[in-house]
Amino acid sequence: MGILEDVVQGNEQYAAAFTEGDLALPPARKLAIVACMDARLEPLTQLGLHLGDTHVIRNAGGRVSLDVLRSLAISERLLGTDTVVVIHHTGCGMLTFSNDDIRARIHADLGSQAGDAASQMDFLPFGELEQSVRDDVKTIKASLLIPDAIGVYGFIYDTSTGKLSQIS
């Protein structure tokens, strides 16, 4: 069986036992999490949270991009979140390349039009883990879309121990 069939079958099993269709739209814990898309991270489980407790916004590196700010503004203004947690992690792939590296790879693999499109994009890689957390927390706090009253906190998740460390 291929991956698509596995996913469909997995959903059928999940839906057959699903009992949480009456959860409220706003997150119960008034929390928004910005985290990496890394397959080794599962923010709900790792933080002792459950379906319906939080908004989880994920992307490569857990970086605070314009789209993340858009999502946070909607989460806060329309759905009542009052706390944001940024979580980056050890062993992140975003530490392993530069914008020039990924742009060159895209150009070589996909051609000049894709290369031109990539040249206009910041892929938001970073060279230092703790500083990337500080930068993303600062970006949220500096955004005019997020009120000063919103608590914004940064953490690093250790993929080898499962522990979370707060970054000041």
The average pLDDT across 125-129 equals 97
How far, in Å, CA of 53 to CA of 55, rounded? 7
Residues 15-26 have pLDDT tens digits of 999 999 999 999
The verdict on residue 23 lying in a domain is no
Q: Are 34 and 57 in contact (CB under 8 A)?
A: yes
Domain that holds residue 131: 30-36+53-167
What is the number of domains present in the chain? 1
The verdict on residue 131 lying in a domain is yes
The verdict on residue 58 lying in a domain is yes
The average pLDDT across 66-75 equals 98
Task: Please return the burial class of 67, using the count of CB atoms within 10 Å of its CB with bins 0-12, 13-18 and 19+.
Answer: exposed
How far, in Å, CA of 133 to CA of 94, rounded? 13
Q: What's the pLDDT score for residue 91?
A: 97
The verdict on residue 22 lying in a domain is no
The verdict on residue 75 lying in a domain is yes
pLDDT at position 42 over 80? yes
**Domain holding 111: CATH number?**
3.40.1050.10
pLDDT at position 65 over 90? yes
In the chain, the DSSP E strands lie at 31-36, 54-59, 83-89, 151-157, 164-167
The verdict on residue 20 lying in a domain is no
pTM above 0.85, yes or no: yes
The average pLDDT across 103-125 equals 97
The verdict on residue 21 lying in a domain is no
Contacts of 126 (CB under 8 A, 6+ apart): 61, 63, 94, 95, 132, 135
Q: What's the pLDDT score for residue 1?
A: 73
